Amino acid sequence: MVLKIATANRAVAEAAKLSNVNVIPVYPITPATSIAEYLAKFVADGEMDAEYVRVESEHSAMSVAIGASSTGARVFTATSSQGLALMHEVLFIAAGMRAPIVMANANRALSAPLSIWNDQQDSISERDSGWIQIYAENAQEALDFVIQSYRITEHPEVLLPAMVCLDGFILTHTVEPVDVPEKEVVSDFVSTYKPANAILDPENPMSIGTFTDPNYYMEARHDMYNAMINSKNIIRNVNKEFGEIFGREYDFVENYRCDDAEIIIVAMGSVCGTVKDVIDEIRREGEKVGLLKLRVFRPFPTDEINAVVKNADKIAVLDKNVSFDIGGALYNEIKAKLDVDAYGFIIGLGGRDVTPEHIRKIVKETKKPEKDVQWIGLREEEI
């Protein structure tokens, strides 16, 4: 292993380089741009033996990805925000065609108004696309999750694409120490891509992307539903194997001081680092607060969440996204799937800082809740 000082963008580019990727169709967009640049340079310098396709849009990036994946190539791409939204149509198709594509998404707010800064509205808005979604807290996780994703997506019982989400700027542009594993070890772990279901090959002609009438469509979607459920076992197994080889293990959720906690904060992504610090402070003051960090959002790990939060009095769910009039997506899903006393907090939209004071306020509000859903961090003065 080599310790590098790297941004999460650099980390995911390194992960793609290590993972025997064949085709990289990518279109630059802030804050994912440097992923495209690193990969271009790896290919230009001969460090990476892959076809780099300089597409003219994100829609085409995902379309090239589907074409290449269907021809038997391992594919990596990266995007963000408006780019992900432009891909919307083809995201559903990639999943429906069961193409095991891996993509990094640098989480960024969606227009309008235009913002290049972080929240998670972009990927959350694609939650029903059939993609596995994994959220990284730091650059190391981003690297590890990309490598793991190839094993998960390409598994014959899964065959759903995976999106590794990294908070824009907070992770994509911040340098941290990252363990970059040896090429040979990763290569052994991911091996080379062998299509488990479909391939465009004149020796064995198949028609991929067919037209279904009402007799067949529903079964195809039901298959995907089952595949998403199946993916839980595969994610668990891949993670275990990854831990044995690389010494880092990740569960669906991370339990941070939850065992005796009266209030548990549930969150995803980089904000978890801030939350952990605040919890340490509050605990020194004698309050029992914990954090459940959700790593995998799709499939939704209901049982794993429940095992951690079931004894808490109250749950505070942090969402860097909003579904208008009903609160954040994670809050709503927790309310729907678990029998807990949960409250929703909309935080950090469009790059608004989430400060330790905000976290303290959330804990305070959760103790004596006045509303189901609150926005935290809004400016108090008129603008």
Q: Which residues bind other proteins (CB under 8 A)?
A: 22-23, 25, 49-51, 53-57, 59-61, 63-73, 75, 89-90, 93, 96-98, 159, 197-202, 204-213, 216, 219-220, 222-223
Residue 366 near residue 267, CB atoms below 8 Å: no
Burial of 114 (0-12, 13-18, 19+ CB in 10 A): exposed
Residue 18 near residue 47, CB atoms below 8 Å: no
What is the residue whose two structure tokens read 């594919």?
A: 75
What tokens were used for 276? 């952990």
* Smallest distance from other proteins to CB 286, Å: 55
Q: How far apart are CA 40 and CA 287, in angstroms?
A: 50
What tokens were used for 174? 């911040």
Nearer to other proteins, 17 or 358 (CB): 17
* Smallest distance from other proteins to CB 163, Å: 18
Nearer to other proteins, 211 or 324 (CB): 211
* Smallest distance from other proteins to CB 66, Å: 5
Q: How far apart are CA 49 and CA 132, in angstroms?
A: 27
Q: How far apart are CA 55 and CA 146, in angstroms?
A: 22
* Smallest distance from other proteins to CB 198, Å: 4
* Smallest distance from other proteins to CB 30, Å: 21
Strand partners, 25: 53
* Smallest distance from other proteins to CB 227, Å: 8
Q: How far apart are CA 320 and CA 355, in angstroms?
A: 14
Nearer to other proteins, 18 or 61 (CB): 61
* Smallest distance from other proteins to CB 46, Å: 14
Nearer to other proteins, 74 or 335 (CB): 74
Nearer to other proteins, 56 or 370 (CB): 56
Nearer to other proteins, 204 or 285 (CB): 204
What is the residue whose two structure tokens read 């209901």?
A: 302
Dihedral of CA atoms 172, 298, 78, 66 in degrees, nearest 10, equals 180
* Smallest distance from other proteins to CB 218, Å: 9
Residue 84 near residue 105, CB atoms below 8 Å: yes
Nearer to other proteins, 48 or 147 (CB): 48
Q: Is the dihedral of CA 149, 152, 156, 161 positive or negative?
A: negative
Q: Is the dihedral of CA 78, 354, 330, 285 positive or negative?
A: positive
Nearer to other proteins, 8 or 190 (CB): 190
